[in-house]
Amino acid sequence: MSDTHLNFIAGEWKPSRGGTTFGDENPARRGSDLCRFQASTAEDMDEAITAANEAFRAWRRTPLADRQHYISEFLKLLQKSSEELAAIVTQENGKTIRESRAEVGSALVEGNYHLNQVAAFYGHTGPGAFQDITTWVQYQPLGVVGVISPWNFPMNVMCRKTLPALLTGNTVVFKPATFTPWSGVFMARLFEQAGLPAGVFNCVTGLGSSIGNVIVQDPRVRAISFTGSTEVGKKIQVKAAANLTRTQLELGGKNALIVMDDASIDKAVDAAMTAGFACAGQWCTSTSRILLHHAIAQPFIEKLVARCEKMVVDDGSREATDMGPVAGPQQYEDICAAIQKARAEGARMIAGGDTPNAAQGYFIRPTVFAGVTPGMSVFQEEIFGPVLAVSAFGTLDEALELANHSIYGLSSAIFTRDLANAKAYIDAIEAGLAHVNIHTGYKEPSMPFGGVKQSGSGLPENSESGLEFFIDRKAIYLRS
Ligand code: NAD
C-alpha cells in the first residue's frame, strides 16, 4: 500500500473534502504507483485562498529581515535534503539522477540570488522636483499569489516563483503539476519545518482543469505565475483578464541552434546533445531545431548520429544512464505520434527507432530527422521530447529567417567564430534568450528568464523582474 500525501492548507495537513486521491507513476516503470495525492476540489482551493488571504495581513507587515530569515532556513533545509529530493524528482519525473541533482542545485543558486537581491531591490528616494517635499516609490506586496508549475522541473520552477513572491511579502497558493505532486508536497514540508507562519504558503494537489481554474478566477488572487504549455497559458490569460489579475506566463518553445560554417563542429555537437536530450528533450529551452550551414552539414550530422547511437536510455536512477524516460504515458504517445507524423510528411529519420525497454517504461531513443523543411510539423510544433529536426541553409540571413519562422520565441543559440555573425544574430533573433557558442538551455539567476511571441507574457522570472512581478508601485509625496 503506497503512502497518501495530504494538502498543506493554513499550516495543517488536510485530506481533500472530496475524499478521492490520485496516483504518481514512475515513468521508468509502467503501472507503478509511487504514492497517492489528494484529488482536490474547488472547495479545497477556496479554503487555501482564504488561508493565504488571512495570512497576508500579518505577513505583509513582517519585517523583510524576518522574511529573509524564513527563506534562509528553507534554503538550508533544501540543501540538507538535496539527495532525498533529487531521488524523488527522478522517480516521479524520470530524468537522470544527475539531472535531478542539478535541478536542486539550480533552485539553491536562484533562491540564494533572490534572498540576497531583495534588500537591494527596495527604495528609490529623492527630493521632489518642484516643492520642498520628499518623493519615493514604495513597493507594496500584491496579496495572494497563485503559483502553477509544470512537471519538467517540479521543484526548481516553483522555487523560482514562490521564493521571490514570499520575500516581497505575498502569500502563496501553489498547485504542483499533476504528474509530479510529490516534489511539491516535499517543498511544503520544508516550508513547515522552516517555521513559516500558517497560511503563508499553501499547497493543493489535483487536476489543473478543475482546481487550476479556481485559482485563476478568484478575485482575491492578485497574480498568477504560471509555467506550462502555450495552450493552457492562453486560457489562463483570458480567464485572468476578467479580474485584471496580473499574469506571468512562461510557455512553450521550438528553440533553434544555428551552426555556421566557421563554427567548432565538436562544440556545436556537444551543445546539440546537451540541450537536445537532457531531461529527454523536455526542457522548455531544449534545442529542437538545428539549422546547419551547407558546408558543415555532413560532418555535423555524422558526429551527432554517432553520439546518439551511443546513448544509454534507461531508468534515470542508474548512474550509467545518459537519458531517462519521458515523463508519462500521454507524453510517450504524443511524441511517438509526432515521430510518425514527421516520417509521413517526408522527413528522413537518421537516428532513433525501436527502444527495446519501451515495454517497461516510457523510453524513447534520441531521434533525429534530416531534410526538414519549414512546412513540416516537426519544424513547427513543440514536441517536448528527444526529437531533433535538422534543416540546412546557405547564408546567415536564411538561417535567421528559418529560426524566426515559428510562433515561439523562448531560447536560441548560434555557433560561430565570427563576431559580425554573432552580432547580426543577437540583433535579429526573435527569442527571450540568445546564446553565442553556448547551448540553448544555459541560464543564470541574474538574467531575465522568459520568452517572446507565444513563448511568454508578463515580466520574466529571475533577475530584478522576477521580484518586480510580485509588487505594486505606490508613488509617495511627503511634506514634513
Ligand atoms: P501544462 O500546460 O499541461 O500544465 C502546466 C500546469 O498547468 C500544470 O500544473 C497543470 O496541472 C496546470 N493546468 C492545466 N490546465 C489548467 C487550467 N485550465 N488552469 C490552470 N492550470 C492548469 O504543461 P506541462 O505539460 O506540465 O509542461 C510542459 C510545457 O511547459 C511545455 O510546453 C514547456 O515548454 C512548458 N515549459 C515552459 C517553461 C518556461 O519557462 N517557458 C519551463 C518549463 C516548461
Return the closest-CA partner of residue 244 out of 227, 214, 224: 224
Alpha-helical regions (H) of 6-155: 42-59, 64-80, 82-93, 97-121
Asked whether 228 and 150 are in contact (CB, 8 A), the reply is: yes
| Protein residue closest via CA to atom 28 of ligand 1 | 228
Q: Which atom of ligand 1 is nearest to the CA of 239?
A: 19
CA 229 to centroid of ligand 1, rounded, Å: 4
CA distance 67 to 45: 25
Q: Ligand 1: which of 95, 152, 159 to mutate, judged by most atoms within 8 Å of the beta carbon?
A: 152
Record the cell numbers describing residue 232, joined without a space. 493552457
Record the cell numbers describing residue 178, joined without a space. 499533476
Burial of residue 474 (CB within 10 Å: 0-12, 13-18, 19+) is exposed
The sign of the torsion formed by the CA atoms of 42, 46, 52, 53 equals positive
CA distance 105 to 454: 29
Q: Ligand 1: which of 158, 226, 229, 245 to mutate, judged by most atoms within 8 Å of the beta carbon?
A: 229
Residues of the chain with pLDDT under 50: none
Dihedral class, residue 19 (left if φ above 0, else alpha if ψ from -120 to 50, else beta)? left
Return the closest-CA partner of residue 284 out of 253, 315, 329: 253
Q: Is 461 annotated as catalytic? A: no
CA 112 to chain centre: 18
Residues recorded for the chain: 480
CA distance 347 to 360: 29
CATH of domain 3-251+455-479: 3.40.605.10
Radius of gyration of the CA atoms of the chain, in A: 23
Residue spans per domain, the chain: 3-251+455-479, 255-445
Q: Which fold has domain 255-445?
A: Aldehyde Dehydrogenase; Chain A, domain 2 (3.40.309)
> Which candidate in 103, 250, 382, 461 is catalytic?
250
Return the closest-CA partner of residue 431 out of 458, 451, 457: 451
CA 286 to centroid of ligand 1, rounded, Å: 15
| Protein residue closest via CA to atom 19 of ligand 1 | 212
CA 205 to centroid of ligand 1, rounded, Å: 14
**∠ Cα 405 227 401 (to 5°):** 10
CA 300 to centroid of ligand 1, rounded, Å: 33
> What pLDDT, on the 0 to 100 scale, is given for residue 209?
86
**∠ Cα 330 7 87 (to 5°):** 55
CA distance 161 to 83: 22
Read off the pLDDT of residues 301-312 as tens digits, 9 standing for 90 and up. 999 999 999 999
Q: Which atom of ligand 1 is nearest to the CA of 175?
A: 9
Q: Which residues line ligand 1 (CB under 6 A)?
A: 148-153, 175, 177-178, 208-209, 212-213, 216, 227-229, 232, 235-236, 250-253, 284, 382, 384, 410, 451, 456
One-letter amino acid of 358: A
> What pLDDT, on the 0 to 100 scale, is given for residue 1?
52
**∠ Cα 191 196 200 (to 5°):** 95
Three-state DSSP state, 415: strand
Q: Is 401 annotated as catalytic? A: no
> What pLDDT, on the 0 to 100 scale, is given for residue 123?
67
Residue found under cell 515495454: 359
> What pLDDT, on the 0 to 100 scale, is given for residue 401?
98
Q: Ligand 1: which of 284, 362, 382 to mutate, judged by most atoms within 8 Å of the beta carbon?
A: 284
Alpha-helical regions (H) of 248-293: 265-277
CA 226 to centroid of ligand 1, rounded, Å: 7
Return the closest-CA partner of residue 418 out of 439, 436, 431: 436
> Which candidate in 284, 308, 382, 461 is catalytic?
284
> What pLDDT, on the 0 to 100 scale, is given for residue 210?
85
Asked whether 258 and 399 are in contact (CB, 8 A), the reply is: yes
